[in-house]
Amino acid sequence: MRIARIVPDVTGLDKQFDYLIPDLFGAIGTELAIGDVVRIELHGRRIRGWVVDFPSASDVASDRLRPLLKRSGAGPSAELIDLAGWAAHRWVAGRIRPLLIAASPDTNMSGSFPPIATLATTSPEAQVALVRLAPSDDPLPTVVKAIDAGASGGQVLVLHPSIAGSTALANRLARRGYSVARWPEQ
């Protein structure tokens, strides 16, 4: 018996539920992965949810489990699910749903994007890297190292979660002599 732990897309419901994975899911090439978007039945409604874990059958009371209805498509990567769990614990009072919504596209086109693992590898033509820093880390040394290493031809795209932080980082880089452009101003 295979079980998936699901975070339902329901406002105000901060709970995860376990569902049976029907044998059909693995049989037709739709094997579930952490982060996948699924359809579940919850209190008589069919709703969207995200797979966040695969608990063992011995850890779950399986006599009342309902089956998953459908796999809708790929969602956030397992790495992003892990990050969302950490961020939810640290900043969002344990509520992971808002972070999963932010990490998911409005329409289910996430299967067309390359996974994080692909973005984090280097290619012979150009060095491409994805680096995620902890909120308490100073981004300046990492950005300077990436620029000086010649990553992407010396061009580095930095995403910062706050306007004040991005402004401060841009000013620090400019003082060191690096060419900086901030969106949307420049």
Q: What is the pLDDT of residue 127?
A: 54
Neighbour count for residue 97 (Cβ, 10 Å): 22
pLDDT of 30: 54
pLDDT at residue number 175: 93
What is each CA distance from 143 to 32, 46, 140, 162, 168, in whole angstroms?
36, 45, 5, 16, 13
Task: Give the pTM.
Answer: 0.52
User: How many angstroms separate the CA atoms of 94 and 92, rounded?
Assistant: 5
Q: Is the domain covering 3-112 a CATH 3.40.1440.60 domain?
A: yes
Contact 15, 21 (CB under 8 A): no
Q: Show me where the domains of the chain are located.
A: 3-112, 120-175
Name the one residue in this structure whose structure tokens are 């880390």: 137
The pLDDT tens digits along the chain (186 residues) read 788 888 888 887 878 888 888 776 654 445 778 888 888 888 888 888 988 888 777 777 666 788 888 888 778 888 888 888 888 777 767 777 888 887 776 654 434 333 333 334 344 455 556 677 767 778 888 888 877 776 556 677 788 777 888 888 889 999 998 888 887 677
What confidence score (pLDDT) does residue 78 get?
83
Q: Which of 142, 130, 135 is nearest to 161 (CA)?
A: 135
